[in-house]
Amino acid sequence: MSRSWPVRYNMVAMCSLATFICYIDRVNISVAIIPMAEEFGWDRGTQGLVMSSFFLGYLLTQIAGGWLADRFGGKIVLGAGVLFWSAFTVITPPAAFAGLTLLLISRIGMGLGEAVTFPSVYSLFGRWVPINERSRAIGLNASAIPLGTVFALVMTPIIVIYLGWEWAFYLFGATGIVWYFVWQKVAATRPEDHPDMTEAELAVIAAGREDINSTVPAPAIRTMLGSMAVWAIIVSHFCANWGTYVLLSWMPTYVSQGLGVDFASVGIYTMIPALASFLFLNVAGVVTDKLINRGTNLTFVRKLMQTVGLGGSAIVLAVVGYVESAVMAIALMTLGSVIGAFGMGGWGSNHIDLAPRHAGTLMGLTNTAGTLPGIIGVYVSGLILEMTNSWALVFQVAAGMNLFGLVFYLLFAKTHKIFD
């Protein structure tokens, strides 16, 4: 590849591809669960348990993954994580046929591998990406989430119909294994270690980042938890992820059973909000970086993006459950995705502001809290549906979470470097 193309762009692209694979492997079960439940006779509660079990594993290795990435390098940790979760994706079908217990274990194992993804990516971005490009890099990486979601939601029904639900796991798992071997050839933990790095690009990176070569150890978790600015991100991450994980897990069922869309068309309906999210996560990153480059106060920018993202999406979630038309419901969901994307310029980019050299550790800490809704929110939503059959109540709980996260962030968020 031409030296005129910055190497850091390749790193951001490969990290985003890992996130894409992470989400096709994570989301495919939200579609595959429908034929799986029919074959194995699972009720709504069991379906919620199967989908939420992933997040138990995902919860356990967040902080460790961030610390390992900051200490030993994001290349090693991210590569190992992708290989690990891909293997568990491949063994999901035989585990399901062997029994519910083994299926839950395989889902937990998959979560253990995927947990290191975002801490490793943030650790790499802290080393590779100048401050005036970080919101765009984080936006691009985050946009791989809805893109992977769309791909999984569109392709999984096709694979299920023509090959059987098992092949959704076999094919997607193999994709991660291929990525791993490419990653070993093109990636490096630090720009200084990459064989294709030029003096000119290294100067650009060094001028726009903190000193990451210092041997100062990462602050203790207790020290990080003593900062209300850290808690602002933790609470925001938890609240934003409540709605995200509930929609990722239950939206295909909502579209199919709540709105009456036939199974073959589920992917088409659910892809529209995800595509809007993909586009506007990148737009939000560009807008955020432009405001910063113009000299706008960084704290004001973060809180503005947070207000638009969490506040706007809360309004949409509060009303969408009352809509009976599938077209209108998807239109509202799409609007929520467009508005919600701007939150990535708020809490989503705040980690590197506070701890540029320890962003992996901090991301691991906040993403631990952000994983809890995957366990609690997905399972509770299943119980709400089991007891009340009310999709409106499921969405209103998510709206309340967004509003709480917004208020907490506005009160306590900071943007100056706190941890060296």
Domains recognised in the chain with CATH numbers: 7-209+218-412 (1.20.1250.20)
Question: Are the C-beta atoms of 144 and 14 separated by less than 8 Å?
Answer: no
How many degrees, rounded to 5, is the angle at CA 362 between CA 360 and CA 364? 70
Fill in the amino acid letter for 38: E
More confident residue, 140 or 419: 140
| pLDDT of res. 216 | 62
Residue written as token pair 């994001």: 74
Extract the tokens encoding 27: 């989301």
Average pLDDT over residues 84-94: 97
Q: What is the mean pLDDT of the chain?
A: 90
- Angstrom distance (rounded) from CA 29 to CA 21: 14
pLDDT confidence bin for 212, thresholds 50/70/90: low
| pLDDT of res. 1 | 40
Q: How far from chain centre, in Å, is Cα 377? A: 15
Tell me which range, 198-202, 258-262, 379-383, is most confidently predicted by mean pLDDT. Answer: 198-202
Q: Kindly report the number of other CB atoms within 10 A of residue 328's CB atom.
A: 12
pLDDT confidence bin for 300, thresholds 50/70/90: very high
Dihedral sign of CA atoms 386, 390, 394, 396 in order: negative
Q: Which of 111-120, 125-134, 399-408 has the lowest mean pLDDT?
A: 125-134
Average pLDDT over residues 330-337: 92
By the 10 Å C-beta count (0-12 exposed, 13-18 middle, 19+ buried), 46 is classed as: middle
- Angstrom distance (rounded) from CA 322 to CA 318: 9
| pLDDT of res. 215 | 56
On the CB side of 393, how many CA atoms lie within 13 Å of its CA?
A: 11
Region class of 325: left (phi > 0), else alpha (psi between -120 and 50), else beta: beta
Average pLDDT over residues 290-310: 94
More confident residue, 403 or 356: 403
pLDDT confidence bin for 405, thresholds 50/70/90: very high
- Angstrom distance (rounded) from CA 355 to CA 420: 6
pLDDT confidence bin for 249, thresholds 50/70/90: confident
Average pLDDT over residues 368-396: 87
Tell me which range, 153-162, 237-246, 401-410, is most confidently predicted by mean pLDDT. Answer: 401-410
pLDDT confidence bin for 214, thresholds 50/70/90: low
pLDDT confidence bin for 2, thresholds 50/70/90: very low
More confident residue, 105 or 214: 105
Q: Kindly report the number of other CB atoms within 10 A of residue 295's CB atom.
A: 7
- Phi, then psi, of 193 in degrees rounded to 5: -95, -5
| pLDDT of res. 283 | 94
Tell me which range, 360-369, 387-396, 399-408, is most confidently predicted by mean pLDDT. Answer: 399-408
pLDDT confidence bin for 213, thresholds 50/70/90: low
Average pLDDT over residues 281-294: 92
First to last CA, the chain: 36
pLDDT at 389 > cutoff 80 = yes
| pLDDT of res. 197 | 92
Question: Are the C-beta atoms of 362 and 230 separated by less than 8 Å?
Answer: yes
3-class SS letters over the chain: CCCCCCHHHHHHHHHHHHHHHHHHHHHHHHHHHHHHHHHHCCCHHHHHHHHHHHHHHHHHCHHHHHHHHHHHCHHHHHHHHHHHHHHHHHCHHHHHHHCHHHHHHHHHHHHHHHCCHHHHHHHHHHHHCCHHHHHHHHHHHHHHHHHHHHHHHHHHHHHHHHHCCHHHHHHHHHHHHHHHHHHHHHCCCCHHHCCCCCHHHHHHHHHCCCCCCCCCCCCCHHHHHCCHHHHHHHHHHHHHHHHHHHHHHHHHHHHHHHCCCCHHHHHHHHHHHHHHHHHHHHHHHHHHHHHHHCCCCHHHHHHHHHHHHHHHHHHHHHHHCCCCCHHHHHHHHHHHHHHHHHHHHCHHHHHHHHCCCCHHHHHHHHHHHHHHHHHHHHHHHHHHHHHHCCHHHHHHHHHHHHHHHHHHHHHHCCCCCCCC
Q: Which residues have CB under 8 Å from 201's CB, separation 6+?
A: 6, 7, 8, 191
